[in-house]
Amino acid sequence: MSAVVNLADKLATFEAHWSPRIVASYNGNDIMVVKVKGEFVWHSHPETDDLFLVLKGRLTIRMRDGDVTLGPGELYVVPRGIEHCPFAEEEVHMLLIEPRGTPNTGDERTAATKVAI
């Protein structure tokens, strides 16, 4: 049986922004928490959609065809291949779910190393 994961407790274990932490996995997917602030890089994921679930704060996902802004408890899925750039004026806490091994920048050479906690 799996252990219960407390997302707030996991988020309290690190300070780094844009550095996802794996808290669980299922069916070949990583479930991660991440803290973000400022602007990330414009990127896309040619092989997979990109799910964002905001736990705390406000996140804007910039896209070429218009922005999407999310608050706590809201999620958005960026379809595969769509270029996007997450941005947060203040620190945002999020839950991400993506296939194991998916680089967060869409490019393995520039992606953050994902650490399990």
Inside any domain, residue 101: yes
Phi-psi region of 89 (alpha: psi -120 to 50; beta: other; left: phi over 0): alpha
- Model's pTM, two decimal places? 0.89
Tally of structural domains, the chain: 1
Domain that holds residue 35: 25-116
Inside any domain, residue 112: yes
Question: Could you tell me if 34 and 14 are in contact, meaning their C-beta atoms sit under 8 angstroms apart?
Answer: no
Binned at pLDDT 50, 70 and 90, residue 31 comes out as very high
Inside any domain, residue 49: yes
Inside any domain, residue 3: no
Inside any domain, residue 12: no
CA angle 47, 60, 15 (to 5 degrees): 85
Question: Could you tell me if 70 and 76 are in contact, meaning their C-beta atoms sit under 8 angstroms apart?
Answer: yes
Inside any domain, residue 72: yes
Tens-place pLDDT, residues 79-117? 999 999 999 999 999 999 988 877 665 666 666 667 788
Inside any domain, residue 8: no
Inside any domain, residue 96: yes
pLDDT value at position 115?
74
Find the CATH number of the domain harbouring 71. 2.60.120.10
- DSSP assignment of the chain, as one string? -PPP--HHHHHTT---BS--EEEEEETTEEEEEEEEEEE---B--TTS-EEEEEEES-EEEEETT--EEE-TT-EEEEPTT--EEEEEEEEEEEEEEEETT--TTSSTTTPPPPEE-
